[in-house]
Amino acid sequence: MRVLIADDNPVVRRILQQLIEKEEGFEVAAAVSDGDECIETIQKTAPDVVSLDLEMPRMSGRAVLMKMLERNLKPGVVVVTGLPILDQPSVQDELRSLGANAILSKDFSPTGNDLNLFSREYFRALKQAATAQ
């Protein structure tokens, strides 16, 4: 499964890239730092799933979802955000209506059990997003 990582934080991008590279059956299609690059890369590489941050320069994750709908781009999408939206059903509903298959919090440190827990949830979400398309 080919995953495009879109996150403006280089540390988070690197962590997600390392997780994906270690997981059998997954590969990083590309890793980009803003929404414009994300749209361009989806069109060029046709990933199975996009791991999408919401707050990015040049184009937000929400705007990326809207642009994907406009252009009929159909990879699965897992939103991975640091924003406190997991307790806001209306925001989650909006993101899902725009094409997000799952929404996860990137509330983890680079080491420890919380990264292990995030990793399990992340790969479960990536698999579900890929099969939903």
82 pLDDT exceeds 90? Answer: no
Distance CA 88, CA 84 (A): 8
Q: How high is the pLDDT of residue 112?
A: 54
Over residues 48-75, the mean pLDDT reads 95
Q: What percent of the chain has pLDDT over 70?
A: 91
Residue 57: helix, strand or coil by DSSP?
Answer: coil
Distance CA 75, CA 121 (A): 19
What are the structural domain ranges in the chain?
Answer: 2-127
Enter the pTM of the model.
Answer: 0.92
Q: What is the CATH number of domain 2-127?
A: 3.40.50.2300
